[in-house]
Amino acid sequence: MILAVTAQTDREWQEANGGWIVVKNSHQYNTNGPFQPCPVQEDCIGYPLHVEHGVCINVVAFADPDVGSKWTPPTDNIILAFDCGYPSGWNTGSCPVVTEFWVPAGTYALTEFTFVSEVNPGDPDYSPCTNAWSKPTSNAVIRPGDRIDFGESIFIGSGTCTVGGYPCPGTGGLSGDRSNIGGTWYMGGPYNEGMPCQIIQDGDGLTFINENGQQSSGRFIDSSTVEATDWENGLQGVLSSDGNRIDWANGSWWVRNEPE
């Protein structure tokens, strides 16, 4: 087992402040094949495979921004399990390879993928083909003590195919500051302008109350998108960069400051 350790290594503290994302890989290095190219890839020989199972952390809204600010994310925001026997210094002698990575409590946008590369047997004139097959990005709420286990799922030939590398944002910083949006808001338009609304914020949970007193449970989809889950089959709204306006998908908008 590979345990990817962050700066916080005390198990009791970790369980009280976050959970674990787990990925596994039972593929044997330099086996199986032939390599399956993306539709746009050409001239791949079809050598045996090196396979990595991974999860991209695209966006996170931390339940406690103070804990999140002290967290060290994984390299390139990717949690990886290499295949068994991979000759890289990874602890891949036992199988399956298991990677556990601790993350602070919060709401995460995650993309699961399988990265695949041909294993070149030693041809100096050939550059192995590589690609990644990814599932649609999904949101996961990680509460204290949770384990989100992606299992040993290796999927090749299904989903979105990315040529050459991981289907992840890369080395850029994660968006980790969840806005404090609780309090009184006002209808900005296009109707009932100036009528008061309200958002009640409790950790990851939101309650929206519109200008007519109707309530909806809600959540953060990411650090700049909210959803009123009981309205219009899940009404989404986008927060402005200054946090003082929500533009709803139905064309209405709320503002922090009462319109004059």
Same domain, 46 and 103: yes
Do 155 and 249 lie in one domain? The reply is no
Range of the domain at 212: 183-255
- Tell how many helices (H) and how many strands (E) occur in the chain: 2, 18
Q: Between 257 and 195, whose confidence is greater?
A: 195
Residue 132 has pLDDT above 60, yes or no: yes
pLDDT 10s digits, 199-221:
988 766 789 999 999 999 998 87
**pLDDT > 90? residue 102:** yes
Residue that is last in its domain, among 102, 131, 163: 163
**3-state DSSP assignment of residue 12:** helix
Total count of domains within the chain: 2
The answer as to whether 120 is a domain residue is yes
Report the distance separating Cα 242 and Cα 260, nearest Å.
19
187 and 158 fall within a common domain = no
Judged against a pLDDT cut of 80, whether residue 52 lies above it is answered with yes
Q: Within this chain, do residues 247 and 143 fall inside the same structural domain, yes or no?
A: no
Distance of CA 174 to the CA centre of its chain: 10
Same domain, 31 and 120: yes
Asked if residue 82 and residue 144 are part of one domain, the reply reads yes
Same domain, 143 and 200: no
Q: Choose between 201 and 196: higher pLDDT.
A: 196
Lowest mean pLDDT among 33-42, 61-70, 88-97: 88-97
Residue 178 located in a structural domain: no
Beta partners for residue 51, in sequence order: 116
Residues 110 and 211 in one domain: no
Lowest mean pLDDT among 28-37, 41-50, 87-96, 134-143: 87-96
The pLDDT tens digits of the residues spanning 7-29 come to 445 889 999 999 999 999 999 99
pLDDT digits (tens, 9 = 90+) for 56-75: 998 888 888 888 878 888 88
pTM (predicted TM-score): 0.64
pLDDT bin (cut points 50, 70, 90) of residue 6 is very low
Task: Between 260 and 42, name the one with better pLDDT.
Answer: 42
Instruction: With respect to residue 168, please indicate whether it lies within any of the assigned structural domains.
Output: no
Domain finish residue from 119, 134, 163: 163
> How many alpha carbons fall within 13 Å on the CB side of residue 55?
28
Residue of higher predicted confidence among 258 and 155: 155
User: Is the residue at 23 inside a domain?
Assistant: yes
- Mean pLDDT for the stretch of residues 238-255: 88
Is residue 81 a part of any domain in this protein? Answer: yes
Provide the 8-state DSSP code for 74: P
User: Which of 2-11, 34-43, 138-147, 180-189 is the least confident region?
Assistant: 2-11
Q: Which residues of 145-157 are buried (b: 16+ CB within 10 A; e: fewer)?
A: ebebebebebebe
Q: Are residues 222 and 155 in the same domain?
A: no
Q: Which two tokens stand for residue 215?
A: 């309530």
